[in-house]
């Protein structure tokens, strides 16, 4: 099972993209589409198996079985009539499978997006308090210490007496890995909102202007010494 909400979101996005491509092929009424849709449904079933969602896994496999059944009925009718295999029943099963699987993926994607949004709302005041207590230090949009060890980073914040309970609530909603990513996003946003210091190029221009001004003040005295006595 993938415990990271961000990892699940990436998996859902990839499957939804594949589903959209299949929907486009269905609109063009491409032949041999059933095999591609069945393969896609098996990929979806494997993904939900890795997520520990056996009920949705079974639903995806049942959609694939519906396509196989429609193809079997169409082939039997063609054998009885002695003509080409009718594809209306098969096409209807393919379209229904694409729509049902896409709806499931979209619903799960929105659910996990809401989890991340809720966790971000909970983490915003925690992040501000941790910054004030110097438990976190933004540095160029990234966490300045323990960036490679998400658990140590989270413990450094959750160990604070004032933040322990809010951190426990966030930990019940998402994983430590998700917390680290959201913290980095929040710190990047705070870092971007701070006034920027002068850049190196601007500092060099200021220094050059000051040097030129000093030379201009010294030049009249030098010129006066060059006049004939």
pLDDT at res. 197: 62
Q: How far apart are CA 142 and CA 184, in angstroms?
A: 6
Measured in whole angstroms, how far is the alpha carbon of residue 179 from the centre of its chain? 13
In this prediction, residues 8-33 reach a mean pLDDT of 93
Judge if pTM exceeds 0.85.
Answer: no
Provide the residue count of the chain. Answer: 229
Q: How far apart are CA 224 and CA 30, in angstroms?
A: 92
pLDDT digits (tens, 9 = 90+) for 150-184: 567 778 888 889 999 999 899 888 988 898 888 88
Whether 130 contacts 136, CB under 8 Å: yes
Domain boundaries, the chain: 5-112, 118-193
Name every residue whose Cβ is closer than 8 Å to that of residue 120 and which is 6 or more positions away in sequence.
182, 185, 186
Q: How far apart are CA 149 and CA 156, in angstroms?
A: 11
């Amino acid at each position: 099972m993938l415990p990271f909400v961000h990892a699940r979101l990436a998996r859902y996005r990839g499957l939804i993209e594949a589903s959209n491509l299949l929907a486009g092929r269905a609109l063009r009424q491409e032949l041999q589409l059933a095999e591609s849709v069945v393969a896609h449904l098996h990929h979806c079933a494997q993904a939900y198996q890795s997520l520990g969602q056996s009920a949705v896994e079974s639903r995806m496999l049942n959609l694939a079985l519906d396509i196989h059944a429609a193809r079997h009925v169409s082939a039997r009718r063609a054998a009885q009539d002695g003509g080409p295999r009718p594809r209306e029943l098969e096409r209807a099963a393919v379209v229904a499978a694409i729509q049902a699987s896409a709806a499931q993926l979209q619903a799960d994607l929105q659910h996990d997006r809401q989890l991340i949004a809720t966790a971000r709302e909970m983490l915003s005041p925690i992040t501000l308090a941790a910054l004030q207590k110097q438990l976190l230090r933004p540095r160029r949009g990234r966490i300045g210490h323990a960036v490679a060890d998400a658990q140590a980073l989270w413990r450094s914040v959750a160990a604070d007496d004032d933040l322990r309970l809010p951190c426990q609530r966030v930990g019940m909603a998402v994983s430590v890995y998700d917390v680290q990513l959201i913290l980095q996003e929040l710190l990047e946003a705070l870092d971007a909102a701070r006034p920027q210091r002068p850049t190196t190029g601007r500092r060099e221009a200021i220094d050059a202007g000051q040097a030129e001004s000093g030379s201009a003040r010294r030049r009249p005295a030098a010129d006066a010494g060059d006049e004939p006595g």
